[in-house]
Amino acid sequence: MSSLRHKAATPYLFLLPALAVRGVVYVYSMGRVVYLTMTRDTTFVGPDFIGLDNYATVLSSGQFWICVANSFAYLLVTPVLIAVSLGAALLVDSGLRGANTLRLPLFIPVVTPTIVAAVAWRLVFAEDEGLVNSGLRALGFDGIRWLTERPWTLVTAMTVTLWKGFGFYMMVFVAGLLAVPRELREAAMIDGASRLGVFRLVVLPAIWPSIILVFLISSISALKVFDELFVTVKGVPIEHQTIVPLVYEYAFGRGNFGIASAMGIVLFVIILAFSMVHLRLARKGEQEAAR
Amino acid sequence: MDRRGFIAAAGGFVALPLIGGTLLSMGGCDISGTKPSRPLQLWTLALAPFEAFILEQIAKFEAANPGARVEWTDVPFDAIDRKLLASAAAGRAPDVVNMSDRTFARFVSMGAMVDLLPLVGQEARATFLPGALRIGEIDGKLLAVPWYLTTQTVLANTAMLAAGNITLKTLPRTWAGLLAIAPEFHKATGDYLFSIPLGYESDLPMMFLAEGLVPLREELDGSGKPRLRSDLDRPAIAEYLTKWVDCFRADGLPRESVTEGNAHQSRMYQERRLAVINIGPNFLKRISDVAPGVFAETAVEPPIVGALGRSHISVMVLAVTRQTTNALLAAKLAMHMASAEAQLEICRRGVVLPSVISALDDPMFQMPDPRVLSDQAAEVKRRIHTGQAVTSRALRDGTAFTASLECWPDLRRAFEDGFKKVLLDGRPLAKMLKETSAEWDRIVATSNGDMSAIPRPEPLRGAGAMGTVGAGEANR
């Protein structure tokens, strides 16, 4: 009996070190952030407990809600990201000659540091002499204020997110596609299904969990976007940006960790709610498809 | 391993990081009085190239104060705010920190600095240039001592000016004069005549003061006590800002001036997209290294000034933070680094100026003989020396146009936020001034300070025409 209990406890003992580190890193940090949300400018002077005032300030701030709205607008990058990465995965998995060798070049953006990518894209979108505007002008159009005018500031950052992210999601889809039995596709084709039909009726349901996963991860990343905006459009009014740059501005621009932490907690709640709703809908969709 | 041994090992593995983490975090606790041998932490701002100088000064300080030890960290210019905030949040702020006047004002508003007057005595004040010392004097306290100073000089690309039919003689020497011809210059050449940071890191609040347009006024409150009020929306300021907005909208100023802060000026000058910049003379060295062609076309001229005729002095200060465990020794270190001897030494090694009155008579700050040197390396040195001499002359009449108000950074930020929207989003200027003025009233209502904190020097004789050195003199 005692030996059985010992055996049951063993895995948990192995997990303990990791859980302890995680506890310190996550639980303590989270607790500290929650505490900061209830204080005012404590950096040098010491704690000044103000209850829930910071939350009231954040929730009544027009600037905060504009940035939240921008964060949700930024979610528009997600369907494009899924379409592009799924398209790239289908190409790589198509069996066409040389298609497999595309994996490496398509994956390069993923391993490129975001800062480097954003700086490069900043040059591409430069308003006076950038590649895009030079091209537009050569075609007889006016240049676009990619780096300074709303909503183009968001579009510029979204382009960097798209370019930087699609390679990773492509690999997720490729893994999903490899798990689809070739016999199923062949059987469908023998039964007279077109290529589109095979994709719609065989491949898509099989990789649906991958699509859900990519949608969820890329949506959460989009809501938390920072690097791309920080490098490409830093300096534009904060109302042109999303919620995390606003948090950064309050924490490190104004030194107001209380407000910044309160914004962080509200953002956490928003992302949690978004993810739960999304997962529930996805599960429902999956169940209906199974029926 | 038996069961007990296994549990002990697992327990130890779990406990070790926790105990280690706790001990590490205790390192940031205030242990004043218990460990006098704890080294003083000195942070400098972007002084890595002066490593030898800093180490020499630290060695001298340690020799003069037996038992004292100093650990030096150099922090990049862009990172100081973030790094200082993060270290303070962890209870590990440095004892002595070097920062710019702008950054300093911000940390003062957080109550980050120790009053140095009781530690260094009143007599220490007399050694510094009053215009520089004023930055650290807030509400009757001395919250920092001035260290080295930088003021600006004009670098003008003569070839670009010629393309726009402008010579060094006809180049306007005031901001108003430049604004008047900038759109025309852009139309003629496709390049920009000049630029300053207008939105992000805006220079305009400082320039109000340089133009003699004080954006605050004093008013008696209900109890008869004088209180600061915003005067930002008065017609003279609106008129002044309208000139900038009109020039920007007529493409006389680059859009980078709104979003990129100070960095855009040097970058665009190197790229031959900007003909004139008002910048520290040390920038000449960088141009000679990265853009020798542009360097060859560059002339060094006296700084552009506002209506008062006085150029702006940027003051680097040394302050002691509240988290120090040895305020007296830290204040001694700050005074040691800011001593006349140390300041002359750093001026010798870099293109900066001293904040100690006695040091300005050193031959280093006299104009060089243009006939002596001729090869390229010597020419770089000669021009840098010229820049240093030009700026040291401007220094005697210059003023740090930064208000010694705790809330000054908040006022600047509110202005920047509003003015960016005027320039980029087309918000009407009058509406922005009204809204920002109300915001300023809200900010000053919760802050201390009076009009004595705002630099309001008399205009120089003949102001509006040029600075303290005749145009063209520097290039002879």
B268-288 mean pLDDT: 88
User: What pLDDT score was predicted for residue B196?
Assistant: 95
**For the segment A5-62, what is each residue's pLDDT rounded down to a tens digit?**
778 888 889 999 999 998 888 888 889 899 999 998 667 777 688 999 999 999 999 9
- Cα distance between residue B186 and residue B156, in whole Å: 16
**For the segment B307-343, what is each residue's pLDDT rounded down to a tens digit?**
888 888 888 999 999 999 999 999 999 999 999 899 9
Strand partners, B179: none
* A164 confidence band (pLDDT: 50, 70, 90): very high
Count CA atoms within 13 Å of residue B395 on its CB side: 29
Residue A17: list chain B partners with CB under 8 A: 10, 13-14, 17
Q: What interhelical angle do A131-138 and A114-124 show, nearest 10? A: 20
Q: Is the Cβ pair B81, A13 closer than 8 Å? A: no
Task: Tell whether A192 is within 8 A of chain B (Cβ).
Answer: no
Residue linked to tokens 């680097």: B316
pLDDT of B17 over the 90 cut: no
On whether the CB atoms of residues A48 and A42 are closer than 8 A, the answer is: yes
Count CA atoms within 13 Å of residue B64 on its CB side: 12
Q: Is the Cβ pair B420, A150 closer than 8 Å? A: no
- Cα distance between residue A117 and residue A231, in whole Å: 9
- Cα distance between residue A63 and residue A61, in whole Å: 5
Domains in chain A with CATH codes: 53-290 (1.10.3720.10)
- Cα distance between residue A13 and residue B14, in whole Å: 10
Name the closest residue on chain A to residue B260, using Cα atoms. Answer: A235
Interface test with B, best of A42, A44, A152 (most B CBs within 10 A): A44
Cα of B411 to nearest chain A Cα, Å: 12
Residue A20: list chain B partners with CB under 8 A: 14, 17-18
Chain A residues 14-73 within an 8 A CB cutoff of chain B: 14, 16-17, 20-21, 24, 41, 43-45
Identify which of B18, B112, B424 has the shortest CB distance to residue A44.
B112
Residue B93: list chain A partners with CB under 8 A: 44
Cα of A4 to nearest chain B Cα, Å: 13
Name the closest residue on chain A to residue B80, using Cα atoms. Answer: A252
Pairing verdict, β B96-100 and B40-45: parallel
Task: Tell whether A149 is within 8 A of chain B (Cβ).
Answer: yes
Task: Tell whether B476 is within 8 A of chain A (Cβ).
Answer: no
Q: What is the DSSP string of B301-350?
A: EPPPB-TT---BEEEEEEEEBTT-S-HHHHHHHHHHHTSHHHHHHHHHHS
pLDDT of B426 over the 60 cut: yes
pLDDT of A280 over the 70 cut: yes
Pairing verdict, β B274-279 and B153-157: antiparallel
Residues 6+ apart with CB under 8 A from B404: B105, B134, B135, B136, B137, B138, B449, B453, B454
Q: Is the Cβ pair A41, B199 closer than 8 Å? A: no
B428-437 mean pLDDT: 97
Domains in chain B with CATH codes: 36-149+314-360 (3.40.190.10), 151-312+367-475 (3.40.190.10)
pLDDT of B96 over the 90 cut: yes
User: What pLDDT score was predicted for residue A60?
Assistant: 96
Task: Tell whether A143 is within 8 A of chain B (Cβ).
Answer: no
pLDDT of B33 over the 80 cut: no
User: What pLDDT score was predicted for residue B248?
Assistant: 97
Two tokens at B267? Answer: 């970058």
Lowest mean pLDDT among A31-35, A216-220, B99-103, B328-332: B99-103
Q: How many CB pairs under 8 A join A and B?
A: 85
Which run of H or of E encompasses B146?
A: strand B145-151
Residue A24: list chain B partners with CB under 8 A: 17-18, 21
Cα of B60 to nearest chain A Cα, Å: 30
In this prediction the pTM is 0.80
**For the segment B344-385, what is each residue's pLDDT rounded down to a tens digit?**
898 888 778 888 888 777 777 665 555 544 455 566 666 666
Task: Tell whether A166 is within 8 A of chain B (Cβ).
Answer: no
Average pLDDT, chain A: 90
Task: Tell whether B13 is within 8 A of chain A (Cβ).
Answer: yes
Identify which of B106, B200, B258 has the shortest CB distance to residue A255.
B106
Residue type, position B176, single letter: A
Residue A21: list chain B partners with CB under 8 A: 17
Residue linked to tokens 């280690």: B20
- Cα distance between residue A182 and residue B344, in whole Å: 79
CA distances to A40, B12, B158, B324 from B91, rounded to whole Å, are 16, 28, 52, 10
Better-predicted residue by pLDDT, B42 or A115 = B42
pLDDT of B15 over the 80 cut: no
Better-predicted residue by pLDDT, B246 or B149 = B246
pLDDT of A83 over the 70 cut: yes
E strands in B23-104: 40-45, 70-75, 96-100
* B302 confidence band (pLDDT: 50, 70, 90): confident
B27-56 mean pLDDT: 73
- Cα distance between residue B280 and residue B177, in whole Å: 21
Task: Tell whether B106 is within 8 A of chain A (Cβ).
Answer: yes
- Cα distance between residue B61 and residue B84, in whole Å: 24
- Cα distance between residue B32 and residue B49, in whole Å: 33
User: What pLDDT score was predicted for residue B469?
Assistant: 33
pLDDT of A98 over the 60 cut: yes
Q: What percentage of chain A has pLDDT greater than the value 70?
A: 96
Residue A234: list chain B partners with CB under 8 A: 200, 259
A215-224 mean pLDDT: 93
Residue A147: list chain B partners with CB under 8 A: 255, 259
